[in-house]
Structure 1
Amino acid sequence: METQLLIKIIHMSGVALACLAIFLRAFTLFKGVQGNQPNPAGRTMFVALQHASMTLIAGTGIALLVMKNFDVQPWFYAKIILFLVLLSSLSKAYKKGDTFLLVQRRAGLLIAVVVFIAILALVMIKPNFG
């Protein structure tokens, strides 16, 4: 099997894993919350799953970028910016401490879900900006 295809399959598996992690971890903001904190049950597993999937996506994405000699389409830059927004909103939604209200955490989760869907749509549509 071609190396680039194999890495692409691993990359998309990471995306599916990230979707699962975001979905499962979202339940902690709606069930069993303690004050302004998400439900601590299973926190370690969900954090590990989310971090592993995001690291897998970033690592394989960089590997694919290097394999293509950094020859990318203009929509790729929007995808990178959206990925950074996704990471930022997820980190704000699940940050430890009482600095964020529960409603702010849920808004961060909503932003993350919308951005995740936007990234998937961007990749499927592959718009031509030029």
Structure 2
Amino acid sequence: MKCYNCGGGSVVSKKRNWVSYVNGIKVVTPDVNVDECQDCGEVVLDSSESEKIDHDVAKYFDKVLVLDNRLKEVRKGLDLTQEEVAKRMGWSKQRYNTVEKNKKVPSILLALKLASALECDVNDIYKLKIEKKPGMSINLARS
């Protein structure tokens, strides 16, 4: 079969994991049947495969990635007070409290400094998690 796009390449049918991004969230639809041109790389899906991807992606339209702050848990696990961590950072207790309560999203540099002060990996303190967008709802019912 000839390519729909370039007209010259041979098209091969294969399965692959289809990767989409919704609101910064990576969505993988496994085992999608595609026709791919060996020359130009053009990929064609049939309608059923496209619907499968759309269904997977639709689950994330009302979701966002948020920063899950675990500073308090890490600090308490080390048996440290807010004052002690603030002192390690060269901050006031109030400034540390603002960061610990997630009232201010830290810069990458600040997150790395906090990890250093707490003698842990930055991934122990901050993780990305998926949450529902406030005030949004999506009906995924199929007719």
Structure 2 length-normalised TM: 0.22
Whose helix fraction is larger, Structure 1's or Structure 2's? 1
Q: Tell me which of the two structures has the higher relative contact order, counting C-alpha pairs closer than 8 angstroms and 6 or more residues apart.
A: 1
